[in-house]
């Protein structure tokens, strides 16, 4: 069947505008913490199961690190993202990080002549003439909910402040939390990541190169007893098998959500040259979307007037004092958002029908490991576009029962009027799980009744808002440029949610179509992200946002911010006595 002429013209205009925007873009060449070191700038159900899909899509076609959908139970080790040293031409040389703001002109996400925002490049600062003995190495492992990642940083410490010379990065699936009670298996899963550190750091430097493992939402959700057992085994394994000194105390730990967000804020603003400089430069707000949680951190204009509470985070960095608003919303990462939306869909269908033929709860053992099981019931879900199906999806309800179902679109095909409203219906479900109507005990709240100073009134309109992690992984593959508005995301979401046959007509890049075909819940992800940013955080639809995977070849996220204090040997580690490993 053919799509109506009016609707087709509407979608064609959206697609054309997005393409022109892409062409234009391509044409453009305590909570009080003191960071030591630091830095002078320094819906009915169906019985028909004929629609199938290929499970487990990649997060980004340009990322060497492949992250599969954790809910599909597919685990695959990604490729190493290596970054070879690059010579820097004399006219482009500038200290990195930026030591003198006069030498650069900070233009949003691209520090002029000092760093380019890119997706997978290597950072190599200009040589300072120091010998190799002045280099220090930090090994930071991010144990996330959907996978573990290693960052091996190389710093030049003979200059003040230290310069970040290089970052080696690799990620693998699954995350530590997937090992449940297999603590040794969890520890051994980090071996491929530690190999990167062994291959990067000279042998004579390894005994004085600290390693830390910071777990995030995945282990938090696993429960304290199981999480503690895994972390204890990880510490023992690293201390006995590897030459790197393991940071004491919280060096192997579940990171507090507030620290996770603040370290991500430090990373972004440090790489942008906004902090650590002699001038008081406006800072960027950061929004980090992980698998299990999401973080927001920004510097309100009137921070001293902020209501006291766990959201208020004061930090001294580079001779400046910052009062930040931060909050980590546990259970509202992308994968947890999916689970909440799917659960809501099933709850609504059960309320509507009372019961669904063939729908049988999984046993406790099956619910823990649903791999290999096949769903017998297919349900309608407006977050699944016409022409694709999301098969064998575990759905856990509030009462603790888990079901395995297939999801398809309520629309018969792209010409069905239901297809035209799919993105609106899906966004309604996403907004519902945010509990925006929860009682707010202060003047301003985000969602779930959580206090947050208004971004519209307490954050400068001219300052950057930076979204990364899963935000980037979902937006970049479908042609969203590094600078965009939420309205543009809503427009492309309508295309994605309208149906698979339209993708070939409107998406010019073959890789974009392949991404969408491999991940049938992309419509749901975009709808959740839009609801989170617009309805949850109250960001205007016409507000410019920025995204990137890296700045100057260094990945965004909390890892660099958490690694900087470890350059000080008094930060919980001492050099390890030489030993054969």
pLDDT in tens, 200-209: 999 999 999 9
Say which residue, 350 or 509, is predicted with more confidence: 350
Helix (H, G, I), strand (E, B) or coil at 173: coil
224-248, pLDDT tens digit by residue? 899 999 999 999 999 999 999 999 9
Say which residue, 336 or 64, is predicted with more confidence: 336
**Cβ atoms of 18 and 491 closer than 8 Å:** yes
Helix (H, G, I), strand (E, B) or coil at 85: coil
**Cβ atoms of 147 and 337 closer than 8 Å:** no
309-339, pLDDT tens digit by residue? 999 999 888 778 999 999 999 999 999 999 9
Residue 357 has pLDDT above 80, yes or no: yes
Residue 372 has pLDDT above 80, yes or no: yes
Residues 344-348 have a mean pLDDT of: 97
Look at residue 337 in the predicted model and tell me its pLDDT: 97
Look at residue 515 in the predicted model and tell me its pLDDT: 92
**Cβ atoms of 301 and 459 closer than 8 Å:** yes
Non-local (6+) Cβ contacts of 503 within 8 A are 495, 496, 512, 513, 516, 517
Residues 368-381 have a mean pLDDT of: 93
SS (H, E, C) 128-160: CCCCHHHEEEEEEEEECCCCEEEEEEEEECCCC
Burial of 400 (0-12, 13-18, 19+ CB in 10 A): exposed
Q: Is 260 a catalytic residue?
A: yes
Question: Does this model's pTM top 0.75?
Answer: no
Q: How far apart are CA 520 and CA 323, in angstroms?
A: 41
Q: How far apart are CA 528 and CA 212, in angstroms?
A: 32
Q: How far apart are CA 99 and CA 93, in angstroms?
A: 12
pLDDT band per the 50, 70, 90 thresholds, residue 571: confident
Residues 475-486 have a mean pLDDT of: 95
159-207, pLDDT tens digit by residue? 766 788 999 999 999 889 889 899 999 999 999 999 999 999 999 999 9
- Which of 55, 99, 167, 260 does the annotation list as catalytic? 260
Work out the mean pLDDT of the chain and round it to a whole number: 80
Residue 443 has pLDDT above 50, yes or no: yes
**Other C-beta atoms lying within 10 Å of the C-beta of residue 352:** 11
Pairing between β-strand 106-107 and β-strand 110-111 as defined by DSSP bridges: antiparallel
Lowest mean per-residue pLDDT among 66-75, 267-276, 317-326, 498-507: 66-75
First-to-last CA distance in the chain?
Answer: 66
């Amino acid at each position: 069947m053919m799509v109506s002429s009016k609707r087709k013209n509407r979608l064609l205009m959206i697609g054309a505008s997005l393409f022109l925007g892409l062409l234009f873009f391509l044409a453009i060449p305590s909570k009080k913490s003191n960071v030591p070191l630091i830095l002078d700038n320094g819906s009915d159900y169906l019985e028909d199961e004929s629609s199938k899909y290929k499970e487990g899509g990649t997060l980004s076609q340009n990322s060497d690190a492949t992250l599969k959908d954790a809910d599909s139970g597919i685990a695959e080790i990604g490729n190493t993202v290596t970054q070879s040293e690059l010579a820097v031409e004399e006219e482009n040389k500038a200290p990195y990080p930026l030591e003198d703001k006069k030498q650069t002109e900070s233009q949003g996400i691209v520090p002029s002549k000092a760093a380019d925002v890119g997706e997978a490049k290597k950072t190599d600062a200009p040589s300072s003439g120091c010998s190799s003995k002045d280099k220090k190495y930090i090994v930071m492992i991010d144990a996330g909910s959907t996978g573990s990642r290693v960052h091996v940083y190389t710093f030049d410490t003979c200059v003040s402040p230290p310069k970040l010379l290089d970052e080696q990065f690799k990620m693998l699936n699954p995350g530590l939390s997937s090992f449940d009670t297999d603590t040794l298996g969890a520890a051994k899963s980090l071996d491929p990541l530690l190999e990167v550190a062994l291959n990067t750091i000279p042998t004579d430097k390894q005994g004085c190169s600290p390693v830390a493992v910071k777990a995030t939402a995945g282990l938090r959700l696993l429960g304290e007893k199981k999480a503690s057992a895994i972390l204890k085994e990880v510490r023992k394994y690293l201390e006995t098998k590897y030459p790197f000194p393991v940071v004491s105390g919280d060096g192997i730990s579940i990171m507090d959500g507030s620290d996770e967000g603040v370290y991500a804020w430090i990373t972004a603003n440090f790489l942008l040259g906004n902090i650590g400089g002699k001038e008081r430069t406006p800072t960027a707000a950061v929004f980090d979307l992980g698998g299990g949680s999401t973080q927001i951190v920004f510097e309100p204009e009137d921070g001293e007037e902020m209501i006291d509470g766990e959201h208020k985070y004061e930090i001294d960095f580079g001779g400046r004092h910052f009062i930040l608003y931060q909050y980590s919303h546990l259970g509202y990462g992308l994968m947890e958002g999916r689970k909440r939306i799917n659960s809501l869909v099933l709850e609504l269908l059960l309320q509507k029908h009372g019961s669904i033929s063939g729908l049988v709860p999984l046993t406790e053992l099956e619910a823990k490991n649903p791999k290999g099981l096949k769903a017998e019931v297919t349900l309608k879900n407006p977050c699944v576009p016409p022409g694709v199906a999301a098969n064998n999806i575990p759905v856990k309800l509030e009462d603790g029962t888990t079901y395995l179902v297939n999801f398809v679109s309520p629309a018969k095909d792209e010409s069905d009027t239901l297809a035209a409203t799919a993105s609106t219906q899906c966004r309604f479900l996403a907004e519902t799980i945010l509990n925006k109507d929860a009682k707010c005990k202060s003047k301003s709240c985000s969602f779930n009744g959580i206090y947050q100073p208004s971004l519209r009134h307490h954050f400068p309109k001219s300052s950057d808002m930076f979204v990364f992690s899963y935000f980037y992984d979902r937006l970049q593959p479908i042609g969203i440029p590094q600078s965009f508005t939420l309205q543009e995301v809503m427009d492309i979401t309508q295309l994605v949610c309208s149906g698979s046959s339209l993708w070939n007509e409107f998406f010019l890049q073959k890789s974009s179509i392949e991404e969408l075909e491999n991940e049938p819940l992309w419509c749901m992800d975009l709808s959740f992200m839009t609801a989170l940013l617009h309805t949850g955080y109250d960001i205007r639809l016409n507000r410019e946002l920025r995204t990137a995977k890296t700045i100057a070849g260094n990945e965004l996220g909390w890892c660099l911010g958490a690694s900087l204090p470890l350059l000080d040997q008094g930060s919980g580690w001492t050099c390890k006595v030489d030993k054969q490993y």
